[in-house]
Structures are given as structure tokens and as C-alpha cells.
Amino acid sequence: MIFPSGRKSIISILSIVLVCAVGVVSWPEQASAKTHHKKHHVTHAAVDRTASYADIVIDAETGQILHATNPDRLRHPASLTKMMTLYITFQALEAGKIGYNQYLPISANAAEQAPSKLGLRPGQRIRVEDAILGLVTESANDAAVVLAEWLGGSEHGFAQLMTRQARALGMTRTNFDNPSGLPDDGQITTARDMAILGDALIHHYPQFYPFFSRDSFTYAGLYHHNHNHLMDRYDGMDGIKTGYIRASGFNLVASAKRGNVRLIGVVFGGHSAVARDNQMAQLLDEAFDKAQKDRTDNRTASRQPAVQQDQTDGAQGDSNDNAVENVQYVTLPAKVAAIFPSQNEVPERKPQPQAAPPEMVAVTTNGWGVQIGAYSDPVIGRQALVNAVAGAPTLLGKAERQLVPTSTTSGGVVYRARLVNIDAKTAQDACVTLIHQGINCLPVGTQ
């Protein structure tokens, strides 16, 4: 090898050596970064990233699937997770386990959650209603953990409640590891399962569902606008929840009502919030047209048998290339029992005495009934009662039929369809029978 002579040449040689040395040092770092990225990708192997998009639109009264693309492919729910956190919170409110004005402690674990958050501080307290509004509007991860730690004893304990409740609702492909939806390899769901959860929030807790319509709320002097901006521009939309993490893209579960038709739509994997919202608007527009054409004057509120899920985790088809030839339905959920663990599993709480939350159903042993659903149209509610009696005539043939008007927080009225004046065992047996037929049923105390 021939080396140049002179001082400048020596400096040049040293410079070349230095550059080469830097290059040698940098290669392992780059390789390490690529290896780490590959490992990170592998940890999400259960979720098919080759086709991140999925959607479904259903008729909320009948369960009919009006459109579906990849409805059973596994996805990360992101902040859609908070729908289940709120479902269990509403369950606790209705059962009297917590109250709107009850103050819950803020732990260091809750306060240190990643954004979005309310900025809660450890050692302080937050009202249950403020925590709920924080989840609905700001999608606050710190508020989600506050509720989880109180109701489940810990994040992990609450996640077990969430998954248990998901199974009770028929969400067979969903698993929860945390109450917020922050990135977690084991936090998985499907578009179909999220439609089931959205329907459960609407039909099981109509008195609490208007929380999802809140445009904004102020906490500690800070204004928080609802992340679901599609409510501002889509006619009839009244909720429910957005979600985003990098692994999932932009997700949305939305519900809108026009006339006597209510739809629930789910979109996973949007490239941006605007693109996701525009896609949802288009899907709902097309589905409203289809639902209104399909409706007849004698349409009943009965639920149809569940459709076999795609066990190959493949696409069920979209509206253009693989349209479903036969009418298909999802089995919309029935709330069968409280999901809270026994006192042996979770330490007993000692909340301050609270007034019963508005519209709470007080369960006693003096009288029982079953609730079939809650309907904005009393005609549909009456028909639902007829269908329920026909589904379990021996158990419910002598039950008294009731339509109980109930005010919602938004000032509207829904009618709870109930069959009452039966004993507890008959109520439980009737719900088991009806649920097997795909009919909503909830045992309730009536006195």
C-alpha cells in the first residue's frame, strides 16, 4: 500500500481512520435498533398488521349487520378500552357500590399515567362524576386508573373484571390488561366485539349513556373538549368513544340515531383522525339508507341468532367485493349478573355514605322481574315484551307486563320493558332461556 507523504497527508490518513472507526461503531447500534424494532413487532404477532383496517355497522335494535370488513380480526382497542371501564363503573353506580359525588383517592400510580390525562396529583381525590367525564371527553388515563383501583383493588384486578364482563357480554375475542388502553401486547379486541360493547352501554345503561354526548367539561380550571369531533358535524350522532395508539391507528365507535333507526359503527385503523371520521360518516350514511329500506311496519325488537365467527381470522367481506349474501346478525348482549368479585378477592371499601344515584334499580328479595330492554319507542317496547313471553311462556306467561318511563340525563325519555311479579329463581331461569334465544334479559328486583 502506498501512503502519501507530508503533514497534510498524515492528517488525511487519520481522518479516514476516524471515519472508518465511527462507521464501525455505528453499525452495531443500527443493527441493535433494527433488532429491537423486529422484536417489538414480534410481540404484537397476534394482531394482523398486514390489514390493519376493520369496520362493522349494525342496526342497534335488531342486531342486523349492515356492513362489515374484517370484523373478527384482532386489533388493539386503544382508548376504546375505556368503554368497558365505564360499563363497569355504570354497573357499580346502578348497584349502589359508588355514588356520583363520592370522592376517590388518587394514587401515585394513577397520577403517573401517560397522557391523555387530567393532571391528577397523588394524595388528592376526585369525584366519581368528574372521573367519568374525564374519560368521556379527555380520554384521561389517570382518571381511568383511579376508577380501576377503587373498583378492582388494582389495575390488574380491574382488568380481570373487564375481561370477565367481556365474556359475559359475548365478546369472545377480547382481552383486557389495563383500564386505559395504553399500549399493551395483550390488549386485544375485534370490531364485532366493540359493537357488542357499544350496544351494551346504550341498552343496559340508558340513564348513563348521555355522558357520551357531553361536548366538553372543565376540571381544575382547565377546559376539555370531547375527542369525538364527528359529533359536531354528523346529524344524529350522540357518542361514543375514540381511540389511538401507534399499534392500532385511529379507532372510533360511534352511534347515531335518525328517526326510529339507531346505528352503531366501529372503525379500526384509520390513517388519521379526519380520515377515520370521514370513513365513519360514509359508512353510517350508507347504512342508514339500507336500514330505512329494510325496515317494515311490523319490524320487532327481537334479537336473531348469532352468526358463526370467522375462526380463520380472515375478512368477512366488505360492501363491494365480498358482500354478505344472507342477512346476518350479531347477538347483542344481555347483562346476566354482577361481575364484581367476592369480598375475598378485593379488600372491602368504606366509602362515605352516599345518596342513591338517580334511576338506580334497587334490588331486593320482595319481588323480582326481568328487563328485556330500554326503548325510545313504546310500541317497540311492547312488542319486545310479547316476544319475550313467547320465548319463555311457561316461566313468563303469568308475569305482569310493564313499560317504565325513565328520564335520561339529557332530558329525554326511554321505556324499560319489564315482566314483573315473579320470584328470583323464575327471573334467573327466564333470562337463561331468553339469552339462549338471543333475546336481551336482565333479572331485576322490583320492590
pLDDT digits (tens, 9 = 90+) for 241-298: 999 999 999 999 999 999 989 999 999 999 999 999 999 999 999 999 998 887 654 4
323 occurs within a structural domain: no
413 and 283 in a single domain? The answer is: no
245 plus 393 within the same structural domain: no
Q: Would you put residue 123 in left (φ > 0), alpha (ψ -120 to 50) or beta?
A: left
**CB-based contacts of 401, cutoff 8 Å, min separation 6:** 382, 385, 389, 418, 419
**Cβ–Cβ under 8 Å, residues 359 and 406:** yes
| pLDDT at residue number 253 | 97
Catalytic choice (79, 107, 116, 180): 79
Decide if 392 contacts 398 (C-beta within 8 A). no
Find how far residue 22's CA is from the centre of its chain: 51
Residue 111 lies in a domain: yes
- Other beta carbons less than 10 A from residue 11's beta carbon: 10
Residues 69 and 210 occupy one common structural domain: yes
Domain span at 377: 368-445
Backbone angles phi, psi at 124, to 5 degrees: -90, -175
User: Is 380 a domain residue?
Assistant: yes
Counting every residue written for the chain, the total comes to: 447
Three-class SS state of 56: strand
DSSP state of 22: H
Residues 132 and 250 in one domain: yes
Cα separation, 219 vs 204, in Å, equals 28
Residue 111, pLDDT score? 97
284 with 414, same domain: the answer is no
What pLDDT does 31 receive?
A: 29
- Residues in the chain predicted with pLDDT less than 70, given as ranges, are 1-51, 295-326, 333-366, 408-411, 446-447
In a domain? residue 345: no
Residue 82 appears among annotated catalytic residues = yes
First to last CA, the chain: 100
Helices (H), 104-216: 108-111, 128-133, 141-152, 155-169, 191-204
List pLDDT tens digits, range 320-343: 333 334 678 887 765 544 555 543
Identify the CATH number of the domain in which residue 409 sits.
3.30.70.1070
Q: 287 with 379, same domain?
A: no
Nearest to 131 by CA among 179, 201, 202, 76: 179
Tell me, yes or no, whether 71 lies in a domain. Answer: yes
- Count: domains in the chain: 2
* Phi/psi of residue 400, nearest 5 degrees: -85, 135
Q: Which residue matches cell numbers 357531553?
A: 214
Could you confirm whether 410 is annotated as catalytic? no
359 within some domain: no
Is 19 part of a structural domain of the chain? no
Establish if 231 belongs to a structural domain.
Answer: yes
Interior/surface letters 79-90, b for 16+ CB within 10 angstroms, e for the rest: bbbbbbbbbbbb
Same structural domain, 287 and 375: no
Final residue belonging to a domain, choices 260, 278, 294: 294
Question: 194 to each of 185, 202, 399, how far by Cα in Å?
Answer: 18, 12, 34
Residue showing cell 340515531: 257
| Amino acid, single-letter form, for residue 32 | S
Same domain, 289 and 189: yes
Give the end of a domain, one of 259, 294, 329.
294
The residue annotated as part of the active site, out of 82, 117, 241, 335, is 82
Catalytic residue list contains 79: yes
| pLDDT value at residue 384 | 87
Residue 438 has a pLDDT of 74
Mean pLDDT over each residue of the chain, to the nearest integer: 78
- pTM greater than 0.95 (yes/no): no
Q: Give the domain CATH number at 144.
A: 3.40.710.10
* In contact, 208 and 173? CB cutoff 8 Å: no
Catalytic residue among 139, 180, 213, 255: 139
Q: Are residues 88 and 232 both part of a single domain?
A: yes
Q: Which of 294, 316, 336 is the last residue of a domain?
A: 294
Longest CA–CA separation in the chain, Å: 111
DSSP 188: B
